[in-house]
Amino acid sequence: MTAKRPSAEDRIRELRTAIRHHDYLYHVKDAPEISDDAYDVLFRELKSLEAKHPELVTPDSPTQRVGGQVFDRFPSMEHAAPMLSLDSDKEASALRRFDERLRKALGNSISYVVEPKFDGASVEIVYEEGRLVRAATRGNGRVGEGITENVRTIRAVPLTLRSAERKAPAFLSVRGEVMISIAAFEKLNEQLLAGEREPFANPRNAAAGGLRQLDPRVSARRPLEVLVYDILAATPLDVATQSEALNALRQWGFPTTDMAVQTSDVDAILTYHEDLHARRDDLEYEIDGVVIKLDDLALRDEVGATSHHPRWAYAHKFPPRKEVTRVMTIFPSVGRTGVVTPVAMLRPVELGGVTVSRASLHNREEVARKDIREGDLVRVQRAGDVIPQVVERVAEPGRKRGKRFAMPSKCPSCGSKVLERGPFTVCPNSFECSSQLAGRLYHFGSREALEIEGLGEETAKRLVHEGLVHALADLFDLEVDAVMRLEGFANKSAENLVNAIKAASDTELARFLLGLGVPEVGVAVARDLAAYFKTINAVMAASVDELTQVPGVGSKMAEQIAGFFGNRRNRATIHDLLDGRVNIAPIEATDTQLLDGLTIVFTGGLERFSRRQAQELVQLHGARATSSVSKETDYVVEGTDAGSKADKARALGVSILSEEEFVAFLREKGIEP
């Protein structure tokens, strides 16, 4: 034991307590006391201390949300108590009957708690001695799928229960809804579309899909949230009502809804329902009705449940956001990434309180599969605030239909010959097609890319449409006089914009890569590419095979990336940018690059670190961490249950290190793991 130990241990404890406290303030109280940056500083300090003292890492540390293990199936998990579903209807009369039934059984003095009905994926989360031990999907109500590792990645889910205001029970099973906010859902779909992948139909599918990932790192990248609304089982259970349960859940550290109300009056419930229905589109999360629950838990036991649903709860649903209308015309529309989307102009129709007059038909294959033509009668649907979708064609026997819709062979915006990429149609003229350029310009200057203050969506559009910017590089040649002539600009604001562009021209590789809008490349992948290749030239020269060596880059992604950099016009744009306009800071050699030039592959489970941590550690010291073994590999570190990679290493004669040997190797190089 070294002399430093006690202080590191104390500091680690202190940091964990602080981080948990700030998690609670952020996710439960909705009242953070420190900035995201200050939070990151605490988090990074904890991570680095834990990296230095792996023996002090505990599973409930805030750094241990994302493990490195990939599963091949979800284990079955029996619930602590049945997860029943709710009886529901959308007619007010059915709600009145529910109320009358209960009054008849229990007398007139009953009261209810009314909550929004969240439209996500229902989960059970179980705590023993205050620690999260397992989590499951609803499944058939009795047995669900074990998704513990995925639920752990949700930042709003406490890994340990708080006992500060109220002692947490020794055993606690809670039920809640895992969701993706409407805003995050729209962003996610934008990213999927940018990567030319199918968007999710609604936030519920996105959340449920995020939960059911065999690789928890994929779940961790989904912006999953949770709201907890029910105690499924607890020992001891010292709450008597639902109102008290919501309070207790909040005190134990769970996010709960702040929209629950208590009432004993059906008319008040109907007003609440109407009010939420009217505000549906302004809420953070998608909801599809309200849930009415008996407040008194003892009375719940008295009325019991049928085999499917409890008699003490009821869902009063909203009318569905689906309507039938007619397609007037179909036209192709070009987005920021060049994807040409067929859009249907509709006879305007009210959809859940909003008038809808256009809907996306997604791509060539979707139009063909649904066989939607001009003049057809169609069913349209809206989820959250997203662009409405055409669900299906409504048959009209005997009516003569129009011609099949065909995607154009040339870009409707710039006339370039379009490419077919899977089901998608793409304009390859990334930086010269004006429909793409405005969007790309805005993206280039966005916060996580070059961060050009004042280059908003509107300004980007004006710059392109007023002819000031014909190519991305023109941005850096803008002069104050020219900008001043744009609508909405004066001397000062034009000067500010030009200065902001100058200031942003010194940038980092990861930001530059992100800003280029390479298909599939988001913030995380841009960082991974930068860490791996170190220079823009190396990224541009990388083959598909080399790209798949980057941890986290799959073969489909690699093809898209290589395709982008292989495109002559894209390369010309990048060269123009680098020709005295943008300056990418060389990636700093950290420390003395103790592992410079080495290529290391990790396989199987490690004890001291997650695979990701080990990869980051060697990268920090100048090595490449790759995901597959080749004769260029210097070392393969073999953990438990290592599979084919270790076999391949043996076949190729690559040195294999056990975890212990790897740690010794690091120490030998002067790196304290």
User: Which residue, 177 or 520, is less far from ligand IVH as judged by CB?
Assistant: 177
Please, are residues 54 and 47 in contact by the beta-carbon 8 Å criterion?
no
- Which of 4-7's residues contact partners 24+ apart within 8 Å by CB, and which partners? 5/53
User: Which residue, 208 or 558, is less far from ligand IVH as judged by CB?
Assistant: 208
Which residue's C-beta sits nearest to ligand IVH?
Answer: 122
Distance CA 263, CA 584 (A): 61
Query: According to DSSP H, which parts of 165-319 are helical?
Result: 182-194, 203-211, 216-221, 242-251, 266-279, 297-303
User: Which residue, 115 or 196, is less far from ligand IVH as judged by CB?
Assistant: 115
User: Which residue, 222 or 317, is less far from ligand IVH as judged by CB?
Assistant: 317
Please, are residues 40 and 268 in contact by the beta-carbon 8 Å criterion?
no
Shortest distance (Å) from residue 88 CB to ligand IVH: 6
Say which of 117, 293, 317, 645 is annotated catalytic. Answer: 117
* Phi, psi of 403, deg, nearest 5: -75, 155
Q: Which residues in this chain contact ligand IVH in the complex, by CB under 6 A?
A: 84-86, 115, 117-118, 122, 138, 177, 229-230, 291, 310, 313, 315
Distance CA 454, CA 468 (A): 16
* Phi, psi of 40, deg, nearest 5: -60, -35
Please, are residues 133 and 170 in contact by the beta-carbon 8 Å criterion?
no
User: Which residue, 122 or 626, is less far from ligand IVH as judged by CB?
Assistant: 122
Count, in order, helices (H) and strands (E) of the chain: 24, 24
| 129 φ/ψ sector (left φ>0, alpha ψ -120 to 50, else beta) | left
Shortest distance (Å) from residue 237 CB to ligand IVH: 16
Shortest distance (Å) from residue 187 CB to ligand IVH: 23
Distance CA 641, CA 603 (A): 8
Please, are residues 51 and 45 in contact by the beta-carbon 8 Å criterion?
no
Shortest distance (Å) from residue 182 CB to ligand IVH: 16
Shortest distance (Å) from residue 317 CB to ligand IVH: 9
| 463 φ/ψ sector (left φ>0, alpha ψ -120 to 50, else beta) | alpha
User: Which residue, 122 or 599, is less far from ligand IVH as judged by CB?
Assistant: 122
- Active site includes 117? yes
Shortest distance (Å) from residue 287 CB to ligand IVH: 8
* Phi, psi of 481, deg, nearest 5: -55, -45
User: Which residue, 315 or 656, is less far from ligand IVH as judged by CB?
Assistant: 315
Shortest distance (Å) from residue 386 CB to ligand IVH: 20
Query: For the stretch 90-107, what's the b/e string if a residue is b when 16 or more beta carbons lie within 10 angstroms of its beta carbon?
Result: eeeeebeebbeebeeeee
Please, are residues 276 and 290 in contact by the beta-carbon 8 Å criterion?
yes
Q: Are strands 143-145 and 76-78 parallel, antiparallel or unpaired?
A: antiparallel
User: Which residue, 86 or 387, is less far from ligand IVH as judged by CB?
Assistant: 86
Shortest distance (Å) from residue 119 CB to ligand IVH: 7
Distance CA 348, CA 328 (A): 10
- Distant-in-sequence, close-in-space partners of 593: CB < 8 Å, separation ≥ 6: 621, 622
The catalytic residues are 117
